[in-house]
Amino acid sequence: MYFPTFRSRRIRGKEVFRRMVRENSLSVNDLIYPMFSAFGSGIRKEISSMPGIHQLSIENLVEEAQAVHELGVPAVILFGIPEFKDAVGSDAYADCGIIQETIRALKKSVPDLAVITDVCMCEYTDHGHCGIIKDGDVDNDATLELLAKEALSHAQAGADMVAPSDMMDGRVAAIRDTLDENGFDHIPLMSYAAKYASGYYGPFREAAESTPQFGDRRSYQMDPANRREALREARMDVEEGADIIMVKPGLPYLDIVRDLRNEFDLPLAVYNVSGEYSMVKAAARNGWIDEERVIMETMLSFKRAGADLILTYHAPEVARILKRG
Ligand code: PBG
Ligand code: ZN
């Protein structure tokens, strides 16, 4: 293929041709919207670093979820801000915990919206780590029991899917076993398979009030320098029974998305995390970028890298743009 026999520009010359040869596309069905459920009532507190994203008390969250559902977004993923935190994250697996109450309210008012729950301990522990602390570090095996209890209580409250984000070894098997033993073998599990210890989670920690009170998460989340390790992490989760695997963060890890796409045939998700969202919002507010264009280009980059599903705070905006055409 060489010039002048071949001219790449011929097929780019008309919008109708560009539409015909477009290799990837984005659908509203690809979107999952993360939401923050806060204890109390009448709460609608904007996250200062995430314009447009709020901590919402249950009645407000239900209202917003209804709107998101009407836009055609198929699913939300829930994060909880409990009234009380303690060393073992009791609210995470309490029958009347913040997430359990939110699930019940959502399933009652918006039954067709898929409710996915983030399964982790960091929003519920007073030390802010993703599990139980022993000798200054998170104890893997002791944490597994609590994660399984948390996932089970989400399923009992009516969650449609659970998504463990803690990065403990063996958590997919532990959760799968507990769900199966208790009559929830039909509930799918989406695992945060390759989750990196990332600075891009900064704004989320303000939103979820889950900043670790000492140290960091590098003893359980992945080292940003590692690529092959993502395949091992994903393989473990697939063998333990994950139904969907996820890469997180998104934009800085598109190579990992592509690696997992090439290696596994399961549905693949990518998490366009808080810091990625905040950077776009900040630049747009300064008039430095065309916000809509950058958002849609970012979404397409995930599809091109091989993702099926995109967890993104932009979901309602993207749905609106897609609808408008
Ligand atoms: C909890 C969790 C985090 C995110 C999703 N689940 C934060 C963390 O691991 O520190 C980050 C999401 C985001 O930044 O948007 N383990
Ligand atoms: Zn966590």
Confirm or reject: Cβ of 165 under 6 Å from ligand 1: yes
Q: Name 254's Cβ contacts closer than 8 Å, sequence gap at least 6.
A: 301, 302, 305
pLDDT tens digits in sequence order for the chain, 325 residues long: 899 999 999 999 999 999 999 999 999 999 999 999 999 999 999 999 999 999 999 999 999 999 999 999 999 999 999 999 999 999 999 999 999 999 999 999 999 999 999 999 999 999 999 999 999 999 999 999 999 999 999 999 999 999 999 999 999 999 999 999 999 999 999 999 999 999 999 999 988 889 999 999 999 999 999 999 999 999 999 999 999 999 999 999 999 999 999 999 999 999 999 999 999 999 999 999 999 999 999 999 999 999 999 999 999 999 999 999 8
Distance between CA atoms of 310 and 272, rounded to whole angstroms? Answer: 7
Residue nearest to atom 7 of ligand 1 (CA): 201
Three-state SS sequence of the chain? CCCCCCCHHHHHCCHHHHHHHCCCCCCHHHEEEEEEEECCCCCEEEECCEEEEEEEEHHHHHHHHHHHHHCCCCEEEEEEECCCCECCCHHHHCCCCHHHHHHHHHHHHCCCCEEEEEECCCCCECCCCCCCEECCEECHHHHHHHHHHHHHHHHHHCCCEEEECCCCCCHHHHHHHHHHHCCCCCCCEEEEEEEECCHHHHHHHHHHCCCCCCCCCCCCCECCCCCHHHHHHHHHHHHCCCCEEEEECCHHHHHHHHHHHHHCCCCEEEEECHHHHHHHHHHHHCCCCCHHHHHHHHHHHHHHHCCCEEEECCHHHHHHHHHHC
| 118 within ligand 1 shell (Cβ under 6 A) | yes
The closest ligand to the CA of 80 turns out to be: 1
Q: What is the pLDDT of residues 69-105, one digit of tens each?
A: 999 999 999 999 999 999 999 999 999 999 999 999 9
For residue 325, the model assigns a pLDDT of 85
Token digits for 42?
């009448």
Cα pseudo-dihedral 178, 182, 184, 190, rounded to 10: -10
> 10 Å Cβ neighbour count for 199?
10
pLDDT, residue 134, reads: 95
> How many whole angstroms separate alpha carbon 316 and alpha carbon 314?
6
Token digits of residue 164: 């463990």
Q: Compute, in angstroms, the gap from residue 148 CA to the centroid of ligand 2.
A: 14
Residue with tokens 């022993």: 134
This prediction has a pTM of 0.98
Domains in the chain with CATH codes: 24-246 (3.20.20.70)
Neighbours of ion ligand 2 (CB under 5 A): 120, 122, 130
Of 45, 38, 77, 81, give the one whose Cα is nearest residue 59. 38
CA-nearest residue, atom 14 of ligand 1: 201
Q: Whose CA is nearest to atom 11 of ligand 1?
A: 201
